[in-house]
Amino acid sequence: MPGLKGSFLRADVVTMPILELDDIQSGVLRPRPTPYAATYILFRIDKPEGGRELIRRLNAVVSSAAHPENPGRDTWVSVALSFQGLKALGVPQASLDSFPLPFQQGMAARARMLGDIGESSPEKWEKPLGSSDVHIVLTALAADTEHLEAAMQRARQAYRELGGITAIWRQDCHVRHNEKEAFGFRDGISQPAVDGSGIPGSNPNEQPLKAGEFVLGYPDEIGDSQAIPQPDILGRNGSYLVFRKLRQRVAEFRRYLKENSPTREGEELLAAKMMGRWRSGAPLAKCPLHDDPQLGGDLTRNNDFLFKQDDPIGYNTPCGSHIRRMNPRDAEIGGLARIHRMIRRGTSYGPDLPDGVLEDDGLERGLMFAFVGAHLGRQFEFVQSEWMNKSDFFGGTDGKDPIAGASDGTGYFDIPKRPVRKRLQGLQQFVVTQGGEYCFLPGLRALRWLTELGT
C-alpha cells in the first residue's frame, strides 16, 4: 500500500483476534451482579433427544458476554456439560477424543492429585457428585432468592414436562453479608483482566491476560491458539468450568485462631496472615499492622499491589498465605505465575455460624467454588496440586495452604518475622471436598450445534 509506513501496518495489530463476545456465555467473562443468589442444578440425560431438547430450551435463555442483559428476564443462566454428558447427548467419538484427558476422566478420577484424600475422597462425596450420572450443569443466578425462586419455578415446569432427562441434584447458594465467605473474609476481590473483553480486571498492575487463557480458540500467554476440541464449531468460544462443593469447618477454624493467639487482636492478625488479607478484604501488602475496612471495601485500591519489590521475604504477606499461593503475582517463584491464572466465581451455601460460636452445630456450610478457564491442567489442577498443597515453588518445605489445603493435623504454617520466623504447628483441615466435576461451557453456536446432533 504505497504511502503508508510499515509501522502503521504492524502485523500484530492487523491480525489481532477480536473476541467473539456474542458467542461466549456471559457467565464466562462477565462478573456476577452483587449481591445475588444462585442455584446449581444437575441433570442426567436418560435419552439423547431429551438432553438435546433441554439444551435447546436453555440456549434460549443463556445470555452472551456481548449482551449480558438477559433474555431470561431477571435471571442469568449458564449451561455446562461433563464429558459423560457430551457422550450421553450423542457427540461423535472422534470429537469426544479431542477433549483433554483431565476433562475426559472427570474430577473424581483426578482426586489423589488434587489432594482429595481421606475425608475429601470421592467415596465420601455427596451423591451423585463424582458419578457418571452428572451430565448437564445449569447455574442460575438472580439478584435475590425471590427472583431466583420465581425463575426456577418456571424452569421446573419446563423441564418436568420434558421426557428423557432427570434433575438429580440441586444446591442453593447466596452471597453472605458484606460478600464475606463462611470464615468471615471478604471474597470475590481479585480477578484477572482478559484482553479484548473490555471488562476491567481488579489489579491495575497486572497486564490483561491473553484471551486464550480463558476462552478456547484464541492465542494465549504461551503463543498461538492451542488445539481446541473438534469440530471447531464445538470448541471455539468455549471454556472449562470446575465446580467444587467445599465444606468449611468454621468452628474448627475459629478454635484454631483462638488456641494460637493470646489476644483477640492476635487472632485477627493470625487470620489475616493465613489469608493474606484482613477479613475486611484489606490486603496485608498495603496495611500489614492493622485492618483498614475502608481500604478493604475500596475496589480501586484493595487489589492494587505486587510482592516482589516491597515484600520479597513475605514479612507482610507470608509466601504461604492463601492469596500469595493462589496468585504469587510478580514474586520470585519456580515458573511463571501468568500461565496459572483463573477466573473464580465462588458463592456460599448453608446457614451462618453465629459470631463467637466455637462448637460445631452439625450444619453444613461452605463454598461452591467455581473456576473458569481454558486450561484445566495448567490452571486449576496445577494451582490446586502444586500451589495449594506443596511449597517448593516459593522455596518452602512441605507446608500447605493454611485456609484450603489438604492438611491432616500435622501441617504447619510459617510466618516470616524478625529476628526469627514464627511456625504454627498442628494445622487442621478446615475445608473438606464434598464433590465436584469438570465441565465444558460451550459457546452459543456450539450449544445450537449440540441440539442438532442426530438430525
> Residue numbers of the site for ligand HEM (CB under 6 A)?
181, 183, 185, 187-190, 246, 248, 275, 277, 322-323, 326-327, 342, 344, 366-367, 369, 380, 383-384, 388, 403-404, 431
Looking at the chain, how many residues does it have? 455
Nearest residue (CB) to ligand HEM, 187 versus 195: 187
Q: Which is nearer to ligand HEM, 28 or 88 (CB)?
A: 28
Q: How far is the CB of 15 from ligand HEM (least distance, A)?
A: 31
C-alpha cell recorded at residue 216: 478456547
Cα separation, 242 vs 223, in Å, equals: 24
Catalytic residue among 23, 116, 133, 187: 187
Is the bond into 35 cis (omega within 30 degrees of 0)? yes
Q: Is the dihedral of CA 84, 220, 194, 366 positive or negative?
A: positive
Q: The cell 495489530 sits on which residue? A: 13
- To the nearest whole angstrom, how small is the minimum distance from the Cβ of residue 366 to ligand HEM? 6
Half-sphere exposure of 295 (CA within 13 A, CB side): 18
- Integer Cα distance of 172 and 41 in angstroms: 9
| Residue spans of alpha helices (H) in 300-406 | 322-326, 382
Q: Please count the other Cβ atoms lying within 10 Å of the Cβ belonging to residue 338.
A: 18
Residue whose CB is less far from ligand HEM, 137 or 404: 404
Burial class (CB in 10 A: 0-12, 13-18, 19+), 147: middle
Comparison of 181 and 437: residue with beta carbon closer to ligand HEM: 181
CB-nearer residue toward ligand HEM: 22 or 360 = 360
Q: Give the shortest CB-256-to-ligand HEM separation in angstroms.
A: 14
In angstroms, rounded to a whole number, what is the distance separating the alpha carbons of residues 137 and 85? 9
Give the shortest CB-224-to-ligand HEM separation in angstroms: 26
CB of 189 to ligand HEM, least distance (A): 4
**Is the CB of 113 or the CB of 158 nearer to ligand HEM?**
113
User: Which strand (E) or helix (H) includes residue 329?
Assistant: none
User: Hunting for cell 461451557 — which residue is that?
Assistant: 441
Closest CB to ligand HEM among residues 16, 299: 299
Residue 372 pairs in a beta bridge with 241, 343
Min dist CB 130 to ligand HEM, Å, is 16
CB 97 → ligand HEM: shortest distance, Å?
27
C-alpha dist (Å) from residue 216 to 3, 74, 145, 210, 237: 38, 28, 33, 11, 5
CB 44 within 8 A of CB 85: no
Active site residue 298: no
Identity of the residue, 29 or 404, whose beta carbon is nearer to ligand HEM in the bound complex: 404
139 membership: H or E segment, kind and range = strand 136-142
| Phi and psi torsions of 142, nearest 5° | -145, 170
Alpha helices, H only, 69-183: 83-89, 93-97, 101-105, 111-114, 145-161
Q: How far is the CB of 58 from ligand HEM (least distance, A)?
A: 27
Place of cell 497486572: 206
The whole-angstrom separation of Cα 401 and Cα 399 is 7
Residue 32's CB is within 10 A of a number of other CB atoms, namely: 17
* Residue the block writes with cell 493470625: 270
Catalytic residues: 187
